[in-house]
Each structure stands twice: as structure tokens, then as C-alpha cells.
Amino acid sequence: MTNILKIDTSLRSGISGTHPHGSLSRRLTELFIQQWRENDSSIDIKYRDLGQDPIPYIDEEWIISEFGYAESEEKAQQRLKLSDELIEEIQWADVIVLGVPMYNFGPPAHLKAYIDHLVRMNKTYSFDITQAQPYSGLIDDQKNLVLLSARGGHDFDSADAPFANHVEPAIKTAFNFIGIKKIHEIAIEHQETGGTLLENSILAAEEKTRTLVRNLQTKTTL
């Protein structure tokens, strides 16, 4: 059995092609799950919809609890309970399917809030100042992160415009840091352009998604 954690972050609640003004990133995450189920109905899925049910931002009380300055251990545990749950979900998953729209060159703010709850010393990474590389990820490096994104513009991965894309680089940096190295990226572009360019981009991304599912299921990239 494969454990899949599906995370959507789009503020659009519907799915493109099914609902008016629906989300393209949700369209890809839904396709990924549908394709996987076609060949493996025994998968176990956990789901987080950060777009409709966002994670609260960390605050001063959270920082105090995380770094051991809370008034009591009980208070600290209570404040960090959600963070612990989110980390347990990542530890449980074999495959993490993350749907992310690009908002003003970067990921949604609520995804950053989610990542802040994941990156914790002695939970998801260790720090040893005596080592040449003091930081080490503690999450199993055999997990796969599938990053399915949607953008209004295009050519954000080209050599001419790497500075304009803060979606994949930011997410990859954080997940690499905690130990997840197997990261697969698929993106839909031309949402603002529309027309044939958008249609072709959707078709290409959907075909790449189907191919990735087949590869992961046959363990060619696991």
C-alpha cells in the first residue's frame, strides 16, 4: 500500500474544467490521484486543503514554545500540537502531492505558513556545529514530492527569467533541507494568455502527470 498526502493550496475552491473559475493546480492534483487509483485502489490518502482551511501563522508564542522558553511543558506541547501533526503526516506519506498556484511570483502565503510549521530543529532537521555541514535533514530521503503548479505567465524556468519564479525554488529549498530529495515538477503556464497556448500547456502537463504516476507506480523513480 502507498500512503499519499495530497495538499492543495489554491484559493480557488473548484477544479478547472469542472467548475467556473476553477483551479488549474487542483486539476493536476486531482488527476494525479485519479490516475494512481486506476492501477492501485488500495492507496491510503490523507488530504489537506490549505486554500480553504489555512494553517495559522507561527507567532511569538509558537517561537517561545519551540525554543524551550514556554511557561510550562504542557503549554509548549499544546502550542506545537498542530505542527507535530503536520510533521507526522509528512513522515507517514510515501508520496506528497502538492498543488501550488503562483501568486505574484511566489507561492501563496498560507503555504509558507505551512512550511514554517514543518521546519523544526530536532524534528525535521538536526544541527551539529562540529560538522562541516552542520545541517542534516531528518525526513526519509526515499519519499517523493510531486510539485504541481500553475502560472499566469510563461517561460519562468528559462535561463532568461529564473529570478521571476519563487515558487519551485522556495519549496524545493525547504523540502530538501528537511531531507526530501526526490522532487518532481510539472507546471501549467499561459493562464493569463489563454486560448491555444493555455490549452496546449494543460494537455502537456496532464500527460506529464500521467507519465509520472506510471513511473512512480512501477518504482522507476522511487
Q: How confident is the model at residue 140 (pLDDT cuts 50, 70, 90)?
A: very high
What's the pLDDT tens digit per position in 76-95? 899 999 999 999 999 999 99
Scanning 73-137, the segments in alpha helix (DSSP H) are: 73-79, 81-92, 109-118
Neighbours of 116 (CB within 10 A): 15
Angle between helix axes 109-118 and 168-177 (nearest 10 degrees) is 10
Q: Of 24-33, 135-144, 184-193, give the lowest mean pLDDT range.
A: 184-193
Known binding-site residues for FMN equal 10, 23-25, 102-105
How high is the pLDDT of residue 194? 76
Amino acid at 200: N
Cα 108 to Cα 181: distance, rounded to the nearest angstrom: 22
Give me the chain's average pLDDT, please. Answer: 92
Known binding-site residues equal 10, 23-25, 102-105
Q: Hey, what CATH topology would domain 3-217 get?
A: Rossmann fold (3.40.50)
Cβ atoms of residues 102 and 167 within 8 Å: yes
Cα 9 to Cα 53: distance, rounded to the nearest angstrom: 9
Provide mean pLDDT across the span 125-136.
95
What's the pLDDT tens digit per position in 42-81? 899 999 999 999 999 999 999 999 988 878 888 889 999 9
Which run of H or E residues covers position 203? helix 195-217
Cβ atoms of residues 98 and 146 within 8 Å: yes
How high is the pLDDT of residue 221? 46
How high is the pLDDT of residue 19? 82
Instruction: Please identify which residue in the block is written with the cell numbers 502527470.
Output: 209
What's the first-to-final CA gap in the chain, in angstroms? 14
Which run of H or E residues covers position 48? strand 44-49
SS (H, E, C) 30-45: HHHHHHHHHHCCCCEE
- Domain layout of the chain by residue ranges: 3-217
Cα 35 to Cα 7: distance, rounded to the nearest angstrom: 16
Beta strands in 102-165 (DSSP E): 125-127, 135-137, 144-150
pTM value? 0.92
